[in-house]
Chains A and B, each alone.
Chain A
């Protein structure tokens, strides 16, 4: 380099320094001296000619004039050959050469390339599927335009010293909140899902829908095809239906508007709006909506501020400065609203407060612990996210290991390249580039596999995921994933290969340092730790699900059928029951509100002698027909409701937990007051599981109900005769209730639905564990081949000196087995911790036993052994003459 010019004299006539610095910054270094020299020379002359100020101005102007391509260009030109320069790295000829070499390597080592591409592709399939699933989970409810201003009003209650949060609120809450708080722009109640029979002329069918507040369509982005948002639900006889229903019953949305539909063969409603079918990514689905006024009219008890059942949504006003609304301030204001509005609450020992949950969070964060948000589906999203990263990582590690293994063959190429002038960065670029090439091949393969698997995956996860070809973010993610995978996978081989010493490589005395070996061993251990975690996880999840399915729930869920009591079945229930019990295949029947797995409601309004003033216990309750315990096959002490006793309207059945909580040792015959009606406990039901096994058994009170309307009829069929039983039920239904479609549910299928997410997780975990161990073993297979190749000569010498084949196989396998054992030791406590956390969500669960770890360890060891032994035996059987001939 040229000597640095002496610093310019800082006399009075010097040009502005910042202009000099600017020039030095943008001007190519090899041009700087002459350019600046010329500028100085002109400046000095100008100072004498026109004065300093003007000269300085012109100097700046001239500096700016040099912002031209030739002065900005850093590249050295031919005349600057006084310094060594590297050859142009991205010359087309070199790129062609790299590609050619990469392709020859892929084509020549077919097994290695296949293992690599397959491993990477499988890893990508996993992560792609999981990515699509996660993307879908996050899209749920995210499409509402006002989403950031929508909140779910929830209630936090203190019972029994326990804080419980629930979305159920009083029926009048939505209207009252809107009146009292000016911050609230819209508010709407939202009922539970129910089914009603729609009749239009000769067509009738059962449809699923809800009641919703009049503001519903103003708040949520549900496009109306016909009708206006303000008037869609503003009168009791209004009915909004989906496009699907409009097309089914009337042929088109236009034809449907203004028409009347008879519901449950009782009441006529006017179609005031037709809305677009809800997208798949909606947490709540409904095909029709009825008005809130109608809801309150139908359910008088909703006017009571002490009864909670429906949900309440609000939309806040946009803040004046365009910011998000201040939900915290509103929350503080409405916290004690229920106590203000309901004087009874003031004296009540119940602590109760309202709080807000942002609506878009409702889907992923639906769990509450001690009254505060605590995860929900988001945990599965995170879990699978981690699994996706892990599996991809396992695939990357494979690639690293295999590429390093192949490096023996490629060392000479590296040596030659280095000798003829390749610098390290070029070699790194070449190998990373090769990794990227393989990754992109794998990506293409993975996309194909995912495309084929998507329908199966959708069935499994009960989603409707599609490739979003049009979305740039989809392609960006794909590209990003492939780039990242390629970089991670290619990094180690590239660094390793480029570090080889060309002289030693070309002399043929290639030795890998112990550092490289340790690193590779670390990778194998890491890989197997991940695989072990997945295997143990799968076993635990599988066993827990199996435990749930087979646990004795206290009632017999086999051979139970549910029907809904509607239409004529309500009036002619006794005829129906009499006739049905005479029919073939039927053992007994009853009805109840709710189902055995979902009791209808709960109440705290229970009194008994000796109850302390501070005691507040929330009892589950259900109203039933005669033969309840017989139909469910519950174990009962005392007696069931019976027509032989006239006073059973004030008789109660309770479960063992209720007896314990009340403090009755022998409750039969003891008094109990429910909703102010004093009665007697006539029977004690042995505890049975009323909900999913996530929740401990709660105290239960059962009461006789004289009216079957809108209740579930539960029929027990003779084992093995369900077909005959269903036939007789259907015949009777068609006779008695021709205006309503016949449909039924099996209790065991309903039961399965309680554990839908666990079952999905279990099945997915199965596949992922299998994939993880498969990919890990691919890697092990490659490594075993590498070791065998490395030690070819050693094996040859050993054989010549008389070593037996088994001893050589043991020698080669022992190294790997050690690694697998270390992995088992590391993975076991991790897995134990993780699975304990997962099981903590269940009130009833399996123990994690030692044999699970032992079994998983054995499985991993055996699979690893099988993988390694193939290579070991091949190496041990090799003819030593061939391997030693070159020496």
Chain B
């Protein structure tokens, strides 16, 4: 099968789901994204990404418990699938391989 590619935002969302473990649902993911990357994303964009990842088979979901602050509505909790996990690992391997291939001092120095 052809390898499924992930967009940058999708990759971040998928990673966030992994970070959150068993508590990954729309709001939590959005908040975590905000906290970790400092970028403010709209909730609908996160939902769209989750939906797409689910269609690609990177995520599965089931309905979780309801809370009062949600007006008694249930959450949809997301879990990374094996395919999702492998894709993330693949991406990481490719990145690391690329980092390792960079000769020292090739990148312009940056001072933080």
Contact = CB atoms under 8 A, between A and B. Distances in A.
Contacts of A66: 44, 47
A70 B47 contact: yes
A532 B25 CA distance: 75
B17 to A, nearest CB: 14
B43 A6 contact: no
B44 A37 contact: no
A13 to B, nearest CB: 10
A77 B73 contact: no
A462 interface: no
| Interface core residue of A9, A39, A62 (most chain B CB under 10 Å) | A39
B63 interface: yes
A36 B71 contact: yes
B92 interface: no
Contact of B47 (A8, A38, A77): A38
Contact of A40 (B52, B70, B76): B70
Interface stretch (A41-49, A264-272, A732-740, A848-856): A41-49
A328 interface: no
B55 A77 contact: yes
A37 B73 contact: yes
A55 to B, nearest CB: 12
A509 interface: no
B95 interface: no
B41 to A, nearest CB: 10
Interface string B36-57: 0000001111011001101100
A34 B44 contact: no
A58 to B, nearest CB: 10
B111 interface: no
B100 to A, nearest CB: 38
A41 B74 contact: no
A34 B25 contact: yes
A35 B44 CA distance: 8
B47 A71 contact: yes
B69 A44 contact: yes
Q: Size band of the B side of the interface?
A: 20 to 34
Contacts of A77: 54-55
A60 to B, nearest CB: 13
Interface in B57-80: 60-61, 63, 66-67, 69-76
B72 A35 contact: no
Contact of B26 (A6, A34, A71): A34
A706 interface: no
B44 A9 contact: no
B73 A5 contact: yes
Contacts of B55: 77
Contact of A41 (B47, B51, B69): B69
A885 interface: no
Contacts of A37: 26, 66, 70-71, 73-75
B27 interface: yes
Interface in A18-35: 31, 33-35
Contacts of B70: 37-38, 40-41, 44
B4 to A, nearest CB: 15
B69 to A, nearest CB: 4
Given A38-B25, A41-B67, A62-B42, A5 B72 contact: yes
Contacts of B26: 34-35, 37-38
B74 to A, nearest CB: 6
A329 interface: no
Contact of A65 (B27, B45, B52, B73): B45
Contact of A36 (B52, B54, B73): B73
A886 interface: no
Contacts of A36: 71, 73
A77 B44 CA distance: 18
A41 B70 CA distance: 5
A236 B60 CA distance: 96
A68 B72 contact: no
A436 B107 CA distance: 69
Contacts of B71: 5-6, 8-9, 36-37, 40
Nearest to B55: A77
A550 interface: no
A45 B45 CA distance: 20
A65 B42 contact: yes
Nearest to B67: A41
B53 to A, nearest CB: 11
Contacts of B67: 41
A6 B52 CA distance: 29
A2 interface: yes
Contacts of A409: none
A287 B42 CA distance: 77
A552 to B, nearest CB: 91
Contacts of A35: 26, 47
Nearest to B69: A44
Contacts of B52: 70
Given A2-B63, A34-B25, A42 B43 contact: yes
Contacts of A65: 42-45
A129 to B, nearest CB: 55
Contact of B74 (A33, A39, A45): A33
B20 to A, nearest CB: 14
A39 B71 CA distance: 10
Interface in A260-305: none
A38 B43 CA distance: 8
B73 A70 contact: no
A108 interface: no
B79 to A, nearest CB: 12
A34 B74 contact: yes
A6 B48 contact: no
Q: Which of A5, A33, A38, A42 has the most CB of B within 10 A?
A: A38
B69 A34 contact: no
Contacts of A79: 54, 60-61
Contacts of A8: 71-72
A42 B42 contact: no
Q: Which among B44, B55, B63 has the highest number of chain A CB atoms within 10 Å?
A: B44
Nearest to B49: A70
A524 B52 CA distance: 58
Given A62-B44, A65-B43, A71-B44, A34 B76 contact: yes
B86 to A, nearest CB: 20
Given A37-B26, A37-B71, 4 more contacts: A2-B63, A34-B25, A37-B66, A70-B51
5 contacts: A5-B71, A5-B72, A6-B72, A38-B27, A66-B44
Q: Nearest 8 A-B pairs (CB), nearest first?
A: A37-B73, A8-B71, A65-B44, A38-B26, A37-B70, A34-B76, A44-B69, A6-B72
